[in-house]
Amino acid sequence: MLIEDLFRPRWHEQMEEVIKRMVESVIKNEQVLLNEIKEWEDSPKRKLMLTGDRYYKNKMDIEEKKRDAEWKSNLKLIHGYVKKLVDQKIGYVLSKQPSVTSKNEGYQKKLDDIFDAGMINYAYVK
């Protein structure tokens, strides 16, 4: 044993310090959640979703438009065309309950047992 080894911290003390530093540097769950929420709020996908929601509620971008000349009319025509299209799409997609079928009779019987009216209605309502 060397004399300098007497003044060096023991191995377990060094490892405790390393572990302590690692634990302090780890991001907490709350911070991860806040980072994810902030990233989602700043994403272009969410901005497009908010724009689509505004259009669905008849809040068009044309309302923000300003005329350069005072003598021109500032009449803005707003229509519910987007809302009509979205409602038509929803009606088309969700108007008929889904059916689960198979050509194999044994497999079809098992599918009928699993996908009974209660499950299909539950999935349809959600």
Residues, the chain: 126
In this prediction, residue 74 carries a pLDDT of: 64
Q: Is the dihedral angle over the CA atoms 100, 105, 110, 116 positive or is it negative?
A: positive
pLDDT of residue 33 exceeding 50: yes
pLDDT in tens, 36-89: 999 999 999 999 999 999 989 988 877 777 777 777 776 677 778 888 998 888
pLDDT in tens, 103-124: 888 888 888 888 776 665 555 5
pTM over 0.75: no
Q: Is the dihedral angle over the CA atoms 26, 27, 28, 29 positive or is it negative?
A: negative
Residue 70 is given by DSSP the state: T
